[in-house]
Amino acid sequence: MRLPLVMPVRIATILLTAATALCAGDFFEQFWPEADIYVRTGRDSRLFFLASANRTQETGRSDGQWGAHMDFFLAPLFKDRAARHSEIAPDKFLMIRAGYLYNKTAATSSKPASVENIGVIEATPRYYLPAKVLLSNRNRGELGFVKGDFQPKYRNRLKLERTSRLQKEWSLTPYAYAEVFYDWRYDGFTRQRYAAGNVLEFNKRVALDTYYLRQEDSRAKVRGLNVIGMTIELYLR
């Protein structure tokens, strides 16, 4: 049964309202909205564009980020275990990503606004575990430049997910991940993230990712951060 486009729009509106209400409380310090667009360019490649923001409850300011990437995929490791829609997450053994991010941080009473230009390179191998659980290990290098200063970082993320198809065009994918950040400015791991969420896919062209994230940072003024996030994903042929 094909569901009209108005249904996902209503779902997104309801969840966005709920996220805003939660962030108005005392537990969540930030709300991270994001929009992702994927454009398929070949059997094993696609373009990826993103726009995101970090809305801080305490100060009311918003930081923004925009980016463009190119993704390349290798052949599936186990073809008989591929369960997700190919447009949503190609079930390939290895994904290579290269791209660019523009990150702007708003000014505060103690800090001026700053702009960071970041070159991104990623390699993400994927492995199928029993019960169709997918394990991915993303290795990401960020070559950042702030006011001419080179600030490289390395990020490693381990993620577990499993897709359950509800109908022909609907599926749910709960997931959890842990991520660590290595910053060469301090010669050590300075940040950790732990997240759990769920991706709702509908109409094979739209997905909605909602999640809770805990961030711990040994170098930031705020050492611990609770975040609620929402990402709308659009997949174009």
Q: Residue 170 corresponds to which tokens in the numbers above? A: 């609907």
Q: Hey, how many other C-beta atoms are within 10 angstroms of the C-beta on 13?
A: 10
Q: Residue 226 corresponds to which tokens in the numbers above? A: 């609770």
Amino acid at 138: R
pLDDT of residue 1: 39
Q: Residue 35 corresponds to which tokens in the numbers above? A: 């929009």
The whole-number mean pLDDT for each consecutive block of 10 residues of the chain, a chain of 237 residues, reads 49 55 63 94 93 68 86 72 56 90 76 86 92 94 91 96 85 94 93 94 89 89 85 91
Neighbouring residues of 72: CB distance < 8 A, sequence distance ≥ 6: 44, 45, 95, 96, 97
pLDDT of residue 4: 47
Q: What is the dihedral of CA 137, 91, 37, 139, to 10 degrees?
A: 20
Neighbouring residues of 89: CB distance < 8 A, sequence distance ≥ 6: none
pLDDT of residue 222: 66
pLDDT of residue 124: 95
Among candidate residues 71, 16, 14, 82, the one with its CA nearest the CA of residue 40: 71
Among candidate residues 149, 56, 52, 59, the one with its CA nearest the CA of residue 104: 52
pTM for the model stands at 0.82
**CATH architecture of the domain covering 6-236:** Beta Barrel (2.40)
